[in-house]
Amino acid sequence: MLQAEIFRERIDREIAALRLTREPQELYDPIEYVLSNGGKKARPVLALMACKLFSDDTEKALPAALAVEIFHNFTLVHDDIMDDAPLRRNKPTVHEKWGSNVGILSGDAMMVMAYQQLAQCAPEHLGEVLHVFNTAALHVCEGQQMDMNFQDREQVSIAEYVRMIELKTSTLLAASLKMGAILGGASDEQAELLWEFGRNIGIAFQLQDDILDLYGEEGKFGKKVGGDIVAGKKTFLMLKALELANGALESELAILVSDQSRNAEVQVAETRQIFNELNVKELALAEVRKYHDEGMSHLEALAVDTSKKKLLKHMAEQLLNREI
């Protein structure tokens, strides 16, 4: 079995072992539902991989790995309430199934459960790990708020957008890696390199997500192609197009963005047409490549055997080579 697969199974086993029958059931049933809902477990696997760079005893990173996984799932529960999303991984969301109040409260309890895991880290690293985790956790909230703000704003710069996805998505990947490294015994400097690796790969990953939404294979990601356009989302593609469009294209795009009443397929097709004329997909791919390369340069700078880095390198490539 591949090492990544072994790690994933280890995480799955631990998550399954969490599922005690606890009271009140109304609080814990949704938590069990969310945590058994599949998912790639990318964050905890990254934590274990980062630990393995510095120590063969990856069990040391398990509490932090579980903490990020539970925390990530908590953010999905609350984000889905805020976005009023009916489905997550093709299943009804918690608030859809049990109501908003249960969604809020189960999410809160999951956040506490994440910290319960974290509390089990080795005492000599606990303070530092807690600090890294808290930083990332607050960034996730800040990123989500920025994301909500952007929906109401007319103008959003690409720099602001990248900052938003950095806070909302990539800091937690960065933190997973850094905590794993710390628990494996890495120096501050080495742990920081892994943070930067994760931060850049995370941005690349999210930008690619934007591309896949429009150029990915239908149904492959459980979403309709062009969903971001129909939802009026300000993605990298859209912001780049708005930045580049002039004259007739600019007016056309403005109409497509503001008029959400038209047929969704037509809206997607016409927007894609404009994106193609402006070469937006290629510009986005170049951006993905830029952050990918920047991330990899930090991985390369790590003072560990090149052979040991293969796992993380492969994992990053896997995250990024999803069908474009």
Instruction: Give the binding site for a copy of itself (CB under 8 A).
Output: 23-24, 26-27, 78, 81-82, 100-102, 104-105, 107-109, 111-113, 115-116, 118-119, 123, 126-127, 130-131, 134, 137-138, 141-142, 144-146, 148-149
Question: Closer CB to a copy of itself, residue 153 or residue 262?
Answer: 153
* Planar angle of CA 251, 272, 289, nearest 5 degrees: 115
Question: Closer CB to a copy of itself, residue 34 or residue 118?
Answer: 118
Question: Closer CB to a copy of itself, residue 119 or residue 231?
Answer: 119
Question: Closer CB to a copy of itself, residue 26 or residue 265?
Answer: 26
Alpha-carbon gap, residue 177 to 53, rounded angstroms = 10
Q: What are phi and psi of 212, to 5 degrees?
A: -60, -30
Question: Closer CB to a copy of itself, residue 107 or residue 198?
Answer: 107
Q: In whole angstroms, how close is the CB of 267 to a copy of itself at the nearest point?
A: 26
Q: In whole angstroms, how close is the CB of 300 to a copy of itself at the nearest point?
A: 32
Question: Closer CB to a copy of itself, residue 120 or residue 318?
Answer: 120
Q: In whole angstroms, how close is the CB of 125 to a copy of itself at the nearest point?
A: 10
Q: In whole angstroms, how close is the CB of 37 to a copy of itself at the nearest point?
A: 20
Token pair 């599949």 in the structure block, residue = 38
Q: In whole angstroms, how close is the CB of 308 to a copy of itself at the nearest point?
A: 30
Question: Residue 195 in contact with residue 172, Cβ under 8 Å?
Answer: no
Contacts 24+ apart (CB under 8 A), 302-311: 302/53, 302/190, 302/193, 302/194, 303/190, 304/53, 304/54, 304/190, 308/52, 308/53, 309/53, 311/3, 311/4, 311/49, 311/52
Question: Closer CB to a copy of itself, residue 141 or residue 301?
Answer: 141
Nearest by Cα to 312 from 39, 52, 14, 11: 52
Alpha-carbon gap, residue 321 to 324, rounded angstroms = 7
Question: Closer CB to a copy of itself, residue 101 or residue 276?
Answer: 101
Instruction: Say how many C-beta atoms besides its own lie within 10 A of residue 139's C-beta.
Output: 19
Question: Residue 171 in contact with residue 290, Cβ under 8 Å?
Answer: no
* Planar angle of CA 220, 174, 133, nearest 5 degrees: 115
Q: In whole angstroms, how close is the CB of 59 to a copy of itself at the nearest point?
A: 18
Question: Residue 57 in contact with residue 44, Cβ under 8 Å?
Answer: no
Q: In whole angstroms, how close is the CB of 237 to a copy of itself at the nearest point?
A: 23
Q: What is the DSSP string of 217-267?
A: PTTTTSS-TTHHHHTT---HHHHHHHHH--HHHHHHHHHHHH-TTS-HHHH
Q: In whole angstroms, how close is the CB of 245 to a copy of itself at the nearest point?
A: 27
Token pair for 222:
């459980």
